[in-house]
Chain A
Amino acid sequence: GDSVTQMEGPVTLSEEAFLTINCTYTATGYPSLFWYVQYPGEGLQLLLKATKADDKGSNKGFEATYRKETTSFHLEKGSVQVSDSAVYFCALSAGPGANSKLTFGKGITLSVRP
């Protein structure tokens, strides 16, 4: 079945540091890939997405590129801020013809120090 693997956390960085959060996936067909972010006490919000190989999703300074050859969708940000402290989830959605449920990774907690 489909699965998403995220790097182990938590991650603690100083403000303005470079961020990479690894995500790899296993899926049949051609999934869409997503990053969601969850701020404390809230639901998840879509951060960015990519729907086909070599697509780059970007939002709020975050970027991720859909790499079919390495089955990866790593999240990066050049300079993190304290306000980026949250839990980040990588997810995939099976391609056309399948039902629309998402498969999530376990999430990783990011803490950014001033």
Chain B
Amino acid sequence: DGGITQSPKYLFRKEGQNVTLSCEQNLNHDAMYWYRQDPGQGLRLIYYSQIVNDFQKGDIAEGYSVSREKKESFPLTVTSAQKNPTAFYLCATAAVVNSPLHFGNGTRLTVT
């Protein structure tokens, strides 16, 4: 079954700790994206990668980091520098430039 797996579904962390969110895909898509969703604000792009070993900052990259060592994987690290990390995080992929996105089911991160 082809798809995008985000794990875990719910994640809890103490303030000041880094945390890594997993995103794995078996769709053989080149492009991968991380979005953050907050109530009333829609989706905002954090980072994206169009090819292995390359990635670009999105609109709200501060306090986040990513890596793209394999085509299948695009983990997102939420660092202690992110001032307001509690949110719903969505990973997405696309086959080629400008093709529709496929989304995972998201990870809800709560930092207290």
**Which chain A residues have a beta carbon within 8 Å of chain B's beta carbons?**
32, 34, 36, 41-46, 49, 89, 93-96, 99-102, 104-107
Number of contact residues on B: which range applies?
A: 20 to 34
Chain A residue numbers with a CB within 8 Å of B4 are 43
**Which chain B residues have a beta carbon within 8 Å of chain A's beta carbons?**
4, 6, 31, 33, 35, 40-45, 48, 50, 56, 58, 90, 92, 94, 96-106
Min CB–CB distance A52 → chain B (angstroms): 12
> Do most interface residues of chain B lie in helix, strand or loop, or is the interface mixed?
strand
Chain B residue numbers with a CB within 8 Å of A36 are 101, 103
Min CB–CB distance A54 → chain B (angstroms): 19
Min CB–CB distance A38 → chain B (angstroms): 8
Out of B48, B103, B106, which one reaches A101, CB within 8 Å?
B48
Q: What residue of chain B has the Cβ atom nearest to residue A44's Cβ?
A: B103
